[in-house]
Amino acid sequence: MSEVRIIEIKESVFADNDRQADALRRELKSDKVFLMNLMSSPGSGKTTVLGRTIDGLKDRLRIGVMEADIDSDVDARTIAETGVKAIQLHTGGMCHLDAEMTRQGLEALDVRGLDLAILENVGNLVCPAEFDTGASANVMILSVPEGHDKPLKYPLMFRVCDAVLINKIDVLPYFDFDMERVEEYIHMRNPDAKIFPVSAKTGEGMAAWTDWLEARVRDWNEV
C-alpha cells in the first residue's frame, strides 16, 4: 500500500500568516506607525472605550481607526464622529482578521502621517487571538458583567495581550466580580500583561490607560 501524504493545513495557514504579520510589523516600524489590535467579546463596551481613548489622545497623536465586523457600518460611523479618520472593514463572514486582511485595511485607511492606527477586531474571544495581525500591541477588554473567570476559559486571548482593560467598573457593586481574582487569573496566563480597571461610561481609570498607550506609541515611533 502506498503512503498517503498528510498536510497539516491549520499549521501551514498559521505559519504563513505569521510570516506576513512579521513583515507587516517591520514595515509599520519603518513607517513609524503603531498598530493596536483591540479585541473583546460583543457587548464589552469596545467601541465606547475606543471613543474615550481617542478623545484622550487625538490632540497629542494622529490617529486612524479600522472597524472590523461581519456586516454593518455602525461602529465606523460612531468613531468618525470623534473627528479621526475611520473606515469599516467587512470580513465576509470571517470571525477574525489575519495579517493580509489587516494590510488591506491599512492601505485603504492610508496610514501615511499617522502615529497610531487602531484595529477594532471582530467581537470574539477565540478566533482573533489565533491570528497575528502584525500589530505592535494586542489589547483586550473584559467587562465586569462577563465575570472574573474569563482568563480561565479563554487562555490564549489573555496570553497574547500586552494589556487588559477591565471595563464597566462603575457596575461592580451589582455583580459578583472579584477584581483581585481576575488580576490573579490574568497574570497566571500572562505575567507581563498590564491591567487597567476603567469605566468608559464615567471616564474613571482612562487617563492611566491612555498615558500607557501614548508612551508605547512614542517608544515605537522613535528612530
Q: Is the pLDDT of residue 25 over 70?
A: yes
pLDDT of residue 69: 84
Share above pLDDT 90 across residues of the chain, in percent, rounded to a whole number: 84
Residue 4 lies in a domain: no
pLDDT of residue 72: 73
Residue 161 lies in a domain: yes
Residue 3 lies in a domain: no
Residue 10, C-beta contacts closer than 8 angstroms, at least 6 positions apart: none
- What does the alpha-carbon distance between residue 98 and residue 153 come to, in Å, rounded to a whole number? 23
Residue 211 lies in a domain: yes
The domain spanning residue 186 has which CATH number?
3.40.50.300
- What does the alpha-carbon distance between residue 59 and residue 173 come to, in Å, rounded to a whole number? 34
| Average pLDDT estimate for 6-17 | 70
Residue 1 lies in a domain: no
Residue range 75-132, pLDDT digits in tens: 889 999 999 999 999 877 778 899 999 999 999 999 999 999 999 999 899 999 999 9
Q: Is the pLDDT of residue 161 over 80?
A: yes
Residue 45 lies in a domain: yes
Q: What is the pTM of this model?
A: 0.92
Listed in sequence order, the DSSP H helices in the chain are 9-31, 46-57, 74-80, 99-109, 127-130, 150-153, 155-159, 179-189, 206-221
Q: Is the pLDDT of residue 7 over 70?
A: no
pLDDT averaged over the chain? 93
Contact 11, 200 (CB under 8 A): no
Residue 57 lies in a domain: yes
Q: What amino acid is encoded at 27 in this protein?
A: E
pLDDT of residue 75: 86
- What does the alpha-carbon distance between residue 69 and residue 120 come to, in Å, rounded to a whole number? 9
- What does the alpha-carbon distance between residue 100 and residue 173 come to, in Å, rounded to a whole number? 43
Residue 99, C-beta contacts closer than 8 angstroms, at least 6 positions apart: 17, 18, 20, 21, 23, 24, 131, 132, 133, 134
Residue 139 lies in a domain: yes
Report the domain count for the chain: 1
pLDDT of residue 175: 97
Q: Is the pLDDT of residue 8 over 60?
A: no
- What does the alpha-carbon distance between residue 21 and residue 13 come to, in Å, rounded to a whole number? 12
Q: Which domain holds residue 42?
A: 10-218
Residue 88, C-beta contacts closer than 8 angstroms, at least 6 positions apart: 67, 69, 72, 73, 75, 76
Closest C-alpha among 33, 12, 156, 211 to residue 106: 33
- Cell (9 digits) for 24: 507587516
Q: Is the pLDDT of residue 9 over 80?
A: no
- What does the alpha-carbon distance between residue 39 and residue 50 come to, in Å, rounded to a whole number? 11
Residue range 174-206, pLDDT digits in tens: 999 999 999 999 999 999 999 999 999 999 999
Q: Is the pLDDT of residue 139 over 70?
A: yes
